[in-house]
């Protein structure tokens, strides 16, 4: 890993993305065949997270990749209220238990690992690799790449429908833009990792029966507006 990283940080990032997508998809499919939601997916994401965290710490890269406290006060960041609203989107239309207790626990734990992995890869490695040439372009590319990568949810065994997946791509780009802007301004990925993990984890309790086309479109637009508004504030005021 060290040789590839030293040779090309971007190449290293692409290697991580491919590994993540391939093995996550395989784990999702196998978990469904076993009959226990997220059973193998949790094992994979947990091991991947611990391994990556160990490698980052061993090589003294925690500060570079934002695994430190934000350098800007919570007050100047509006006490992260926009992030709280974004993280709670899956509870806006009611709460229900969508899985068995064991599956719910596995789902929540998996989603926190996913939040860490996707942030450290998309906002950490990819953004930092591209930032050297042009920070603004790096923000755009890493955001779009993060959103487009969600297209694979149609094929990885998650069971996501076409409309939901298309909407997810759009709001993932918007939220991704916000998260990378937050990292760029605060030098910390921790707020984004926490928000991303909670956002994903709470989908285990989303009222899927209320997820009509209108509700999905409204939620997507709300996320885009929140993300765009907070990003604009960060650029102008922070």
Domain containing residue 153: 2-61+72-237
Inter-axis angle of helices 9-34 and 39-58, to 10 degrees?
160
Model confidence over 104-135: pLDDT tens digits? Answer: 999 999 999 999 999 999 999 999 999 988 88
pLDDT given for residue 214 in this prediction = 81
φ and ψ at residue 95, rounded to 5 degrees: -125, 140
Q: Where are the alpha helices (DSSP H) in the chain?
A: 2-7, 9-34, 39-58, 81-87, 101-118, 127-131, 135-149, 162-186, 190-201, 213-237
pLDDT at 164 over 80: no
Q: How far apart are CA 2 and CA 238, in angstroms?
A: 35
pLDDT of 79 strictly over 80: yes
pLDDT at 20 over 70: yes
**For residue 221, is it within any domain?**
yes
Between CA 66 and CA 120 the distance in angstroms is 8
Residue 160 pLDDT > 90, yes or no? Answer: no
Query: 76 lies in a domain?
Result: yes
pLDDT at residue 31 in the model: 97
- Distance in angstroms (rounded) separating the CA atoms of residues 30 and 16: 21
- Would 40 be classed as within a structural domain? yes
How big is the CA angle at 149 (ends 146 and 151), to the nearest 5 degrees? 130
User: Crossing angle of helices 101-118/190-201, nearest 10°?
Assistant: 150
Q: What is the pLDDT of residue 185?
A: 95
Residue 85 placed within a domain: yes
**Shortest CA distance to 130 belongs to which of 119, 112, 143, 118?**
143
Any domain includes 90: yes
Has residue 88 been placed in a domain? yes
Q: Would you place residue 234 in the very low, low, confident or very high pLDDT band (cuts 50, 70, 90)?
A: very high
170 found inside a domain? yes
Number of domains in the chain: 1
Q: Say what the pLDDT of residue 163 is.
A: 73
Considering only residues 60 and 210, tell me which one the structure prediction assigns the higher pLDDT: 60
66 located within any domain: no
pLDDT digits 0-9 by tens, 200-211: 999 999 997 887
Q: How confident is the model at residue 158 (pLDDT cuts 50, 70, 90)?
A: low
């Amino acid at each position: 890993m060290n040789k590839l990283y030293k040779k090309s940080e971007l190449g290293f990032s692409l290697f991580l993305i491919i590994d993540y997508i391939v093995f996550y998809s395989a784990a999702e499919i196998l978990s469904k065949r076993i009959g226990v939601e997220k059973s193998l997916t949790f094992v994979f994401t947990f091991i991947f997270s611990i391994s990556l965290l160990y490698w980052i710490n061993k090589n003294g890269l925690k500060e570079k990749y934002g695994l430190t406290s934000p350098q800007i006060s919570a007050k100047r960041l509006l006490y992260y209220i926009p992030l709280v609203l974004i993280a709670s989107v899956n509870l806006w239309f009611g709460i229900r238990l969508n899985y068995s207790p064991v599956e719910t626990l596995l789902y929540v734990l998996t989603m926190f690992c996913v939040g860490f992995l996707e942030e450290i890869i998309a906002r950490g490695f990819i953004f930092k690799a591209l930032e050297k040439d042009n920070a603004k372009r790096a923000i755009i590319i890493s955001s779009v790449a993060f959103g487009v990568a969600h297209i694979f949810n149609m094929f990885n065994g998650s069971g996501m429908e076409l409309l939901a997946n298309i909407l997810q791509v759009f709001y993932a780009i918007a939220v991704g833009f916000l998260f990378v802007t937050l990292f760029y301004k605060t030098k910390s990925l921790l707020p984004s990792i926490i928000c991303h993990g909670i956002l994903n984890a709470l989908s285990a309790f989303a009222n899927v029966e209320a997820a009509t086309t209108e509700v999905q479109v409204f939620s997507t637009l709300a996320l885009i507006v929140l993300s765009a508004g907070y990003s604009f504030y960060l650029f102008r005021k922070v």
